[in-house]
A and B are shown apart, each in its own frame.
Chain A
Amino acid sequence: MTMLFEEALHQLKLFARRPVAMFFVIAMPLMLLLVLTQLFGNERIEGLGLNTAQFYTPALAVFGVVMACYTYLAVSTATARDLGILKRIRGTPMPPWVYICARILAVSVIAFTSLVLVIATGALVFGVEIIWDRVPAAIMVAIAGALCFAALGMMITALFRSSETVQAATSATIMPLAFISDIFVRPNTETSEWIPVIGNLFPLRHFSVAFQHAFDHAYEGSGFALPDADGIVFSILPHLGVMALWGIGAAFVAARFFNWDTRPS
């Protein structure tokens, strides 16, 4: 256990010394929050109980989690493999599972930091109200999302060989998904009806929608199922279910195909 925490700290130290990674994971979600809210004006979104910042704050918090757990985990692991570091670690007494878990623990800490910064900025700059009763449910969703995307990140690292292709694969998947998953684009802007349908096939929209409900005044209550004024119940459970399905599937693929070396043994 000590070894796990020491290695996770070690990974955090490495992250802190990589300015490019810090920018994409920590600074970019904050910048997007500031820019997008200014761009659209912080007014009430038609048909929703939210104003612009109330929408973008949780959306970009989710985006920060995904940048850490998916993109950074995949790219940094693939880069370490390119450099031969994974192979070298495999030659030390550290059990392989400790190393992988430490990397996942480290990116989860980074993700949580990014998430807290985005929400704090939303609250302090745009007066986004935090519904404290719903914080436990929001944390639950964030943990599920972090683990799901960490599994997907490891899957990408397992399926692609070099850090360049892993970088390309993460960008090519996450950018389009972010547009159809209520992250970059507010839901009431005129989009085709099939976009949310496609979005719902993938875990990102479930992550963002479930997390956003922790900030939505149209519902009441604090649990995992929220009734609105008309008694229509929103439940986060199906969203958690989809994320769990994707996460477990990805973890199996990652475990099956992951290689510690760029060359086959």
Chain B
Amino acid sequence: MPVISVADLTKSYPGRKAVNGISFEVQKGETFALLGPNGAGKTTTIEILEGYRIADGGVAKVLGLDPQADRMELKQRTGLVLQTTALEPELTVAETLAAFARLYARPESQEKVLASVNLAHVTRTRVGNLSGGQKRRLEIALGIIGSPELLFLDEPTTGLDPEARRKIWTLIRGLNEAGCTILLSSHYMDEVKALADRMAIMVDGKIAAEGRPEELQALHASHATIRFDTHGKPLAGLPASLAGLVRIEHGVAIIDTADPVPVLHQLTGWAIEHKADLASLSVNRQSLEDIYLKLAGKGEEAVTREAAE
């Protein structure tokens, strides 16, 4: 049985469709990421699964239960970190954790949790005096204090500096290795690549692509990009079959192709014949980042078009 299963889920707010018919499953022990730009519908999806919001249509099951009807039981068995930090600034770190620990039937040891989120040295510090990264780690501690089977992490590192982000990544990996299933949302591809077993790229309320990172790469990055410096010279005598593919940007010739081998053969042949300098030649497959930006960009275009109409 999947830990999360979502089918044809929809949710609208006045004037816009936040979630527009998405489906995915998360298996036990997985870290699954919803990746997408702001407004893609990630938080709405997570908040439906957490029981905060009621879907307009479709099916959402968490641990085989209904997020609304079985909300009380799910609250015992799942942990969450909301998108925005929500802590009482007047309390100390230890007091904050203790206040949450007493709400759960089977709480973890508080010392163990504080050590695992690397806050054992600031237990008596008031929450208001913590750094952004420390606050976020404390919230992760609150998320796991009830020994959850599933943890929701809604943009856990947004707004943090690179070092604080890396610390949280290490922490999340550790939680997953300890057996916790994780649903993560993020708008950083590097974060998703570092943490997720599988991802769904959400754009404009829909899932634009889904799979393991390498699957997505294979599926969407069939194109290779060939680049070389023209040194400002016109590309005289280029075979017609190549000339149609080349575009020049800032003095760099760029060829996008699904089949780079014959293109390179023609190109190098032309270069030998015309004594052209190809010292800067590079061939790149599209990175996941490129794929993500392309998909997210399409979504933005669609939004702009919609707004224009």
| Residues in A lying within 8 Å of B, measured CB to CB | 3, 6, 10, 13-14, 17-18, 80, 83-85, 87-88, 90-95, 261, 265
Contact = CB atoms under 8 A, between A and B. Distances in A.
Contacts, number: 55
A118 B99 CA distance: 32
B303 to A, nearest CB: 21
B102 A6 contact: yes
Contacts of B75: 91-93
A265 B72 contact: no
Interface stretch (B78-86, B230-238, B287-295): B78-86
A84 to B, nearest CB: 3
Contact of B82 (A14, A91, A94): A91
Contact of B52 (A90, A92, A95): A90
Contacts of A80: 88
B90 A14 contact: yes
A83 B86 contact: yes
B80 A91 contact: yes
A87 B104 contact: no
Given A3-B103, A93-B104, A88 B86 contact: yes
B257 to A, nearest CB: 47
A94 B100 CA distance: 9
B218 interface: no
Given A3-B103, A6-B102, A265-B52, A84 B86 contact: yes
B93 to A, nearest CB: 14
Closest 7 CB pairs of A and B: A84-B86, A17-B90, A88-B86, A93-B75, A92-B103, A265-B53, A93-B76
Contacts of B91: 13-14, 17
A88 B82 contact: yes
Contacts of B90: 14, 17-18
Given A83-B86, A265-B53, 11 more contacts: A14-B91, A17-B91, A83-B88, A84-B82, A88-B82, A88-B142, A91-B80, A92-B100, A92-B104, A93-B103, A93-B105
Contacts of B205: none
Nearest to A9: B99
Interface string B84-118: 11111011000100011011110000000000000
12 contacts: A3-B102, A3-B103, A6-B102, A13-B95, A14-B90, A18-B90, A92-B104, A93-B146, A94-B103, A95-B72, A261-B52, A265-B54
A205 to B, nearest CB: 35
B50 interface: yes
Nearest to A261: B52
Contacts of B80: 91
Nearest to A15: B90
Given A14-B90, A84-B82, A84-B84, A91 B100 contact: no
Contacts of A3: 102-103
A259 to B, nearest CB: 12
For B50, B75, B80, which residue has the most chain A Cβ atoms within 10 angstroms?
B75
For A85, A92, A261, which residue has the most chain B Cβ atoms within 10 angstroms?
A92
A145 B159 CA distance: 46
A85 B87 contact: yes
Nearest to A10: B99
Given A88-B82, A91-B82, A93-B75, A14 B52 contact: no
Interface in B38-85: 47, 50-54, 72, 75-76, 80, 82, 84-85
A80 B146 CA distance: 22
Contacts of B99: 10
B15 to A, nearest CB: 13
A261 B100 CA distance: 19
A230 to B, nearest CB: 55
B84 A85 contact: no
A83 B105 CA distance: 26
Contact of A87 (B54, B86, B87, B102): B86
Contact of A91 (B50, B53, B87, B95): B50
A72 to B, nearest CB: 14
Nearest to A265: B53
Contacts of B105: 93
Contacts of B85: 84
A261 B50 CA distance: 14
A3 B54 CA distance: 28
Contacts of A92: 75, 100, 103-104, 146
